[in-house]
Amino acid sequence: MEFKVPKHNTPAATLIKNYQNRKSGKVTVSRREIQQRFNGMEWRHQKKILLAFINAGAADREWASRKMFAFWDNSFIPVVKSFWEKYHEMPLSWLILRYFPKDYLKQNLDSLSQGRNYYYLCQRLIDEEDFYLDKNRLYESDIIELFKISKKKVTDEEIADVFFSMIRKICRGEYKSAYMYDWDNDYSSRYGWSILVNIKVRYILSEIEFSLSRKGLADAIHMWNRKIANSQYSILNNMKIENPAIEKLVNSFNLELLEQVPF
């Protein structure tokens, strides 16, 4: 019986050379082996590979950008800056948001704040005096996370405004799981029906009480919840959301609740 002799690793320097030489006929196979072995290579080889790949085509540049996120070195700043200003590719923006100086972020606010990037931009600039936090572009959970990392003083009023902003959105059906019957059944069986059974609401309230250490504010919200809770809505328990009568009742409750939001 013949046994196949295992293939030995090609030296890293040879792989890099073959990858960069478009006439070598070994670009594809070299690329594949580099990507497979990259994490276990020495840093001196990794650095050369990342620079070679980011200077190649779009697919290789994206691979290099994603790898740079975990294998960053400040010497990459000039080349990343150059390609970002040329192509504005999303993986390059992630590197800028994480590693570039804050002054560069401030100079490029519009181009770096598209979509979900805005939250990560806020993470870097939240404590800058001249930075305006546009809460309308963030989820309530995002805002709470920013409050947690910020060195600025956050008042109970600001936190309460975030909490009741979520209540308003739920009442208006602005979330996919918008109604109050989007709850944790185990919680409702132990504590009875209330607005705090809603999973989104309960998460924010938990963050307020424990992560932000605002027990007094959390207690006040609990008191507000007990005030607006009404036993007539107990019929909502364990009923199917397809029931038109239940949906009508929940909608009417949402409108009443919205009128009682204190902020």
- pTM for the full model? 0.81
Judged against a pLDDT cut of 50, whether residue 124 lies above it is answered with yes
CA 117 – CA 131 distance, rounded (Å): 15
Identify each DSSP E strand in 79-128 by its residue range.
none
| Each residue's pLDDT tens digit, 139-182 | 999 999 999 999 999 999 999 999 988 888 877 777 765 444 44
CB proximity list for 24: less than 8 A, separation 6 or greater: 17, 18, 30
Counting other chains too, the contacts that 216-219 makes at CB distance below 8 Å and 24 or more residues apart are 216/156, 217/156, 217/159, 217/160
Confidence (pLDDT) at 260: 67
Q: Is the pLDDT of residue 217 over 80?
A: yes
